[in-house]
Amino acid sequence: MPPRALRTPLTLAVLSLLRERPRHPYEIQALVRERHIDQVVKMRGGSLYDAIDRLADAGLITTVSSERAGARPERTVYAITAEGTAVADALVRDYLRTPAQDFPVFATGLAHILTLDAATAADLLRERREAIRATHDRTARQLAADTAGLPRVVTLEVEYAQALRVAELAWLDRVVRDIDAGALPWLDVADAPPSGAP
Amino acid sequence: MPPRALRTPLTLAVLSLLRERPRHPYEIQALVRERHIDQVVKMRGGSLYDAIDRLADAGLITTVSSERAGARPERTVYAITAEGTAVADALVRDYLRTPAQDFPVFATGLAHILTLDAATAADLLRERREAIRATHDRTARQLAADTAGLPRVVTLEVEYAQALRVAELAWLDRVVRDIDAGALPWLDVADAPPSGAP
DNA sequence: ACTCGGTTACTCGAACTCGACTATCCACGG
DNA sequence: CCGTGGATAGTCGAGTTCGAGTAACCGAGT
């Protein structure tokens, strides 16, 4: 099992794109944007080049050629190796099978909600709800348009994110209503440390 | 607005604990574990000390004293400053109001599901469902026990995570059923790049 | 002709993260 | 009384991430 740094969402994206055919880093970057993979995988600036270097050092990908068009910087083309394919496969299985410890920042916000008063909290949650509702509606339209062209299996991750959005909307609705109705008793900050379970 | 590195879930946790009263780093670390804040906020080894150093450099917290008990390492006690309190407040509001771009690794897995065949994928998703179901049941019992003691408002983030779990379970049920029934047409890998939207 | 913005294609250093390590004290069994 | 394991408290350096910078090319205007 290769080290942690070779088993990240970004390295998986790289391996997958190289699985289709050899490419150079910039092409990968462009594809990640074009196919909206960056909505699912965090990719910022130079970290892609770093990831590719690591993969090459570990032998999961190899240099195929080094073209140069004019006096522009060199383009190194990489291809996936057998080990790379194996790792990619194992990674996909892992990601699907094992629920990971994600740390959504909203949960952090909720853990500290008692530093605010009830009315303010309700207002903020309402704002959040509207923002999510907007994203939801946009995604719904997009998914509807897709069903006319794309097979469902290629947009599963969008469908999943949408399902979570629906659930969060419903949850926010309930909580906001409860706060407004006084059905969610508030506490004085001094009494209650902003914590989780006991 | 302070830089990104001072506006992370971990720094917020530190600021919140110091809001209660001055503490030294190890005490903060212990509290984070004790109150299960580490279920919501990523905290590994020395990163806490790094975060505290940064907060101190930026003046959001200050050294109050440096006790030494016996020949043990020194314990530096920190307290929150007015700026620190302001930043913590703004952060909580931000986290509650603005839906963030989280990157759940499961979505990455889904984006690459076509590198597997349908039967394998269904098996993996079933495994995932059972794991989540287990967590769900454990959490449900814990929440039920809490209602006898803790006010609901202090376990909101647990309730939220649970709501998302329920939604994911339902979604997984549907997808697994559809795959089993052949109602989710699969594609040949060659035809379909593992991508998101068009 | 000239420059202006956009695209191509990386490079680099500063900042950040993380796990492994250090070192002391204390309680307790043998 | 001696060692052993856990709690106390933090250090360190190697490895990673990130944003800003560099630098050439290209087409469309003016």
For residue B35, what is the domain's CATH number? Answer: 1.10.10.10
Tell me the C-alpha distance between B198 and B187, whole Å: 16
Long-range contacts of B25-31 (CB under 8 A, 24+ apart): B25/B49, B25/B52, B25/B75, B25/B76, B25/B78, B26/B75, B28/B52
Q: Give A164's contacts (C-beta < 8 A, 6+ positions apart).
A: B164, B167, B168
Q: Do A76 and A119 share a domain, yes or no?
A: no
> Is residue A167 within 8 Å of residue B166, measured between CB atoms?
yes
pLDDT tens, N- to C-terminus, chain A (198 residues):
788 999 999 999 999 999 999 999 999 999 999 999 999 999 998 999 999 999 999 999 999 987 766 556 678 999 999 999 999 999 999 999 999 999 999 999 999 999 999 999 999 999 999 999 999 999 999 999 988 888 999 999 999 999 999 999 999 999 999 999 999 999 876 544 444 443
* Closest chain B residue to A150, measured at CA: B198
B8 and B90 in a single domain? The answer is yes
For residue A51, tell me if it sits in a domain. yes
Q: Phi/psi zone of residue B116: left (φ > 0), alpha (ψ -120 to 50 degrees), beta? A: beta
- Judge whether A158 and A143 are in contact, CB under 8 Å: yes
Distance between A25 CA and the closest CA of chain B, angstroms: 18
What is the tens place of the pLDDT at every residue in A32-88?
Answer: 999 999 999 999 989 999 999 999 999 999 999 877 665 566 789 999 999 999 999
* Count of the separate structural domains present in chain A: 2
Given a contact cutoff of 8 angstroms between Cβ atoms, the answer to whether A128 and A172 are in contact is: yes
Distance from residue A184 (CA) to nucleotide D16 (C1'), in Å? 43
In a domain, A115, yes or no: yes
Same domain, A47 and A114: no
Q: Does B65 share its domain with B110?
A: no
Asked if B196 and A95 come within 8 Å (Cβ–Cβ), the reply is no
Strand C and A34 CB separated by under 7 Å: no
Q: Based on the fold, state whether residues A91 and A110 are members of the same structural domain.
A: no
Q: Which of residues 160-179 of A touch B (CB under 8 A)?
A: 160-161, 163-164, 166-168, 170-171, 175
Q: Which nucleotides of C are covered by protein (CB under 7 A)?
A: 8-13, 15-21, 23-26
As a whole number, the mean pLDDT across chain B is: 91
Nearest nucleic acid nucleotide to A49, CA to C1' distance? C10
pLDDT for B197: 41
* Contact present, A141 and A80 (Cβ < 8 Å): no
Q: Which domain holds residue B118?
A: 105-180
DSSP structural state of residue B58: T
Q: Is residue A195 part of a domain?
A: no
| Chain A residues closer than 8 Å to B12 by CB | 108, 112
Is residue A194 one of the residues assigned to a domain?
A: no
**Whether residues A8 and A90 fall in one domain:** yes
- Shared domain check, A86 and A111: no
Same domain, B91 and B11: yes
Of B42, B88, B107, the CB nearest to A157: B107
Do B19 and B88 belong together in one domain?
Answer: yes
Decide: B72 and B21 in contact? Cβ < 8 Å: no
In a domain, A191, yes or no: no
